[in-house]
Structure 1
Amino acid sequence: MENRPRGWHDLQGPTPITVYERTYRHDGTTAKVTATRDDTRPEPYVWTCTCGASRSFPTEHDVFPTAWRHTHRTRFDRLRSWATRLFTAR
């Protein structure tokens, strides 16, 4: 994952498994998102969050943008989440 954005910390050197990590504020708490490249998997690029969410990809191009979107929700994402909570509570 050579094209990692600024702020992602390289936790290991060039091995079959490469890990990058970044800490964010997520739903009012601190969350850690880890982006990993594991050459032994069919979809080698994956990110996981300490909240339990994760996604895997065949190429590295969507790893960092989707991890960013997971931790930095747009206004539409927040509105949709609010509406879901409002209407499922009734």
Structure 2
Amino acid sequence: MTEKNFSFEQEEIFIIESLMQMAIVDLVHEIGMMEQNYSSEFHYDNGTATYWILEESHDTFNIQLKVRTTSDRQRVVRVLLDKEQMRVKEWIELTMG
């Protein structure tokens, strides 16, 4: 791997991490404002984030979240979100690539 390729890969990882952090904040805010849809998309300068509420119980949202960079790299996670505290209870990595 060349230094240029390595730098590109590092930048992509940073962008994916940033997208994931922004998406979680926006998702918690949207759900907290009781404006949740069962799926929605957030658009950012470096990519997009899409979420789906897969299941809802009396105290937890089970959510799938996918972020995609403008260069088509993506990461998918499953998040269990506590409804009362609006905090992530569990984070499960599904894919990154």
TM-score by length of structure 1 reads 0.35
Which structure carries more strand by proportion? 2
TM-score by length of structure 2 reads 0.33
Higher relative contact order (CA 8 A, sep 6+): 2
